C-alpha cells in the first residue's frame, strides 16, 4: 500500500475509534448525570434539566459509536444469504454496502440539516435546561456523518482490495472461547 493510502487508512480508523471513545465517555457522563440527579434529590439541591442532559448524552453516545461499532462487526445483519453466496459473496457485500452507503449518506445529510434548522428556528429544549437544540444535536450530526464516511470507506475498500474493513472484535471472540 502506498504511503498516502496508509496515512488515509490510519487517520480514518483514528476518527472512527476516536468517536467511539468519545461515545464511551458519553456513557460515563450519563452515569455521572443520573447519579448526580439521585444525589441532588437526597440533598435537596436542585439539578435542573438533568434528565434532558442524560438524553442528549444518550443520543451522542449512540451516534458517535455507530462507525466504530460497524467496523468491529457489532451492527447486526442477516448473514444467511451472504453465506449462501459462497464464492460470489463479494457481490452480496457490494450490494449491501451500496445500499448502506446511500442510506447513511441520506441520514447524515438530514442530520446536518436538522441541526441547521434548529439553529435557524432558534429551537430550544422545552425542559428546564432550555438548551439551544442545535448544540444538543451536533454530536448526532457528527456521528451520522462519520457513519456515512465509514460506509463509503468500506465500499471503496471493497472495490479496491476485494474485502471491506469490517472485522469482528477479537476480544469478543476470545471471551466466547
Residues 80-109 close enough to bind other proteins by CB under 8 A? 80-82, 92-93, 95-96, 99-100, 103-104, 106-107, 109
Name which of 81, 103, 83 is nearest 155 in CA terms: 103
Considering the rule CB under 8 A, would residue 169 count as an interface residue with other proteins? yes
* Gap between the Cα atoms of 4 and 122, Å rounded: 43
Return the residue of 6, 41, 88, 163 that touches other proteins, per CB under 8 A: 41
In contact, 130 and 49? CB cutoff 8 Å: yes
What's the gap between Cα 47 and its chain centre?
29
Q: Does 3 bind other proteins (CB under 8 A)?
A: no
| Contact pick of 13, 90, 114, 119 for other proteins (by CB under 8 A) | 114
Closest Cα to residue 157, out of 72, 74, 97, 86? 97
- Rounded distance, CA 44 to CA 49, Å? 15
Cβ of residue 4: shortest distance to other proteins, in angstroms? 30
Q: Which stretch binds other proteins (CB under 8 A): 2-10, 155-163, 167-175?
A: 167-175
* Continuous H helices in 44-132: 50-71, 80-85, 89-121
- Of the candidates 2, 44, 86, 162, which one interacts with other proteins according to CB under 8 A? 44
Q: How far is the CB of 29 from other proteins (least distance, A)?
A: 11
Smallest gap from Cβ 14 to other proteins, in A, equals 15
- Site map for other proteins, 45-74, x if CB under 8 A? -xxxxxxx-xxxxxx-xxx-xx-xxx-x-x
Please tell me what DSSP assigns to residue 167.
-
> x/- site string to other proteins, residues 133 to 162, per CB under 8 A?
---xx--x----------------------
Separation CA 35–CA 57 (nearest Å) = 14
- C-beta separation of 90 from 83 below 8 A: no
Contacts with other proteins by CB under 8 A: the residue count is 82
Amino acid at each position: 500500500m502506498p504511503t498516502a493510502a496508509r496515512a488515509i487508512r490510519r487517520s480514518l480508523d483514528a476518527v472512527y475509534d476516536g468517536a467511539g471513545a468519545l461515545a464511551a465517555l458519553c456513557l460515563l457522563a450519563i452515569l455521572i448525570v443520573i447519579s448526580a440527579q439521585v444525589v441532588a434529590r437526597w440533598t435537596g439541591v436542585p439539578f435542573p434539566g438533568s434528565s434532558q442532559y442524560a438524553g442528549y448524552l444518550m443520543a451522542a453516545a449512540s451516534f458517535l459509536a455507530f462507525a466504530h461499532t460497524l467496523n468491529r462487526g457489532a451492527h447486526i445483519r442477516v448473514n444467511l444469504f451472504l453465506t449462501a453466496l459462497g464464492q460470489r459473496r463479494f457481490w452480496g457485500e457490494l450490494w449491501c454496502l451500496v445500499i448502506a452507503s446511500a442510506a447513511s449518506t441520506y441520514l447524515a445529510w438530514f442530520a446536518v440539516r436538522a441541526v441547521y434548522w434548529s439553529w435557524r428556528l432558534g429551537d430550544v429544549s422545552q425542559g428546564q435546561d432550555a438548551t439551544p437544540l442545535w448544540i444538543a444535536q451536533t454530536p448526532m450530526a457528527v456521528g451520522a456523518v462519520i457513519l456515512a464516511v465509514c460506509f463509503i470507506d468500506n465500499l471503496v475498500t471493497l472495490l479496491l482490495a476485494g474485502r471491506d474493513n469490517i472485522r469482528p472484535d477479537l476480544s469478543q471472540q476470545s471471551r466466547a472461547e
